[in-house]
Amino acid sequence: MKASEDLRNEHELIKVTLHVLDQVVRRIKQNEQVEVSDLQDIVGFLSEFADKCHHGKEEGFYFPALEQAGIPKEGGPIGVMLNEHDLGRSNIKQMRESVFGTNVDLQSFAQAAVSYIILMSNHIEKENNVLFMMGDMRLPEETQNELLEKFEEHEKAVIGEGRHQELHALLEKLEQKYLS
C-alpha cells in the first residue's frame, strides 16, 4: 500500500461529509428543519478528521517527503495545497462560529459551507489526480512504508485510539439522516 492510498481513502470519507453538508445547505436554503447539533457534529468531524488527522498527515509527513523527492513547495503544487488547507480552516472557523454560542446563524453557516464544499471538492481532485500521482512516481517503497507508519502514529497521537471508529460511526449516522 502506498501512502497516497491511505490519504485517498480518507478523501472518500471527506467527500461523503461534503455530500452531507450539501444536503444540509439545501435544507437551510429551503427553510427546512435542521438540527443545530448535527451542524456542530459536522463541524467537529471536519475539524478533527479532515483537518487535524488528514491534513496533519499531509502537512507533517507527506508533503515534506514530496519536497525531499524534488516536488517544489513554493510556487509549486505543495504550496497551493497548503494555501487551500488554510482557506478550508477559515471556512470551518466561520461554520463553527455560526453554530456554537448563543446566536445561531444558519445563513452564515450555509455560506461558509458552500465555500468549503467547492474548495475541498476541487482540492481533493487536484490531490488525487495530480499530486498523489507525482508522489507515487517519486517516492520509493521504503519511504511509502515509513509514511504509513508515521500516519498511524499521528492518528493515535492526534485523535487517539479508537476515535477513528467513533468518527466513522458519526459520519454513518449523518449519512443515513441526510443522504437516505
| Structure confidence at residue 98 (pLDDT) | 97
The predicted model gives 150-162 an average pLDDT of 92
Residues 6+ apart with CB under 8 A from 156: none
Q: Taking all residues of the chain, what is their mean pLDDT, rounded to a whole number?
A: 96
The single residue listed with the C-alpha cell 454513518 is: 172
The predicted model gives 143-167 an average pLDDT of 93
Overall pTM > 0.85: yes
22-60: pLDDT as tens digits: 999 999 999 999 999 999 999 999 999 999 999 999 999
| In the predicted structure, residue 12 carries a pLDDT above the cut 90 | yes
| Structure confidence at residue 162 (pLDDT) | 85
| In the predicted structure, residue 4 carries a pLDDT above the cut 90 | yes
Cβ atoms 27, 34 nearer than 8 A: yes
Cβ atoms 66, 139 nearer than 8 A: yes
| Structure confidence at residue 21 (pLDDT) | 98
The C-alpha atoms of residue 65 and residue 143 are separated, in whole angstroms, by 8
Q: Which pLDDT band holds residue 106 (cuts at 50, 70, 90)? A: very high
| In the predicted structure, residue 161 carries a pLDDT above the cut 90 | no
Count other Cβ atoms within 10 Å, centred on residue 174: 21
| In the predicted structure, residue 7 carries a pLDDT above the cut 90 | yes
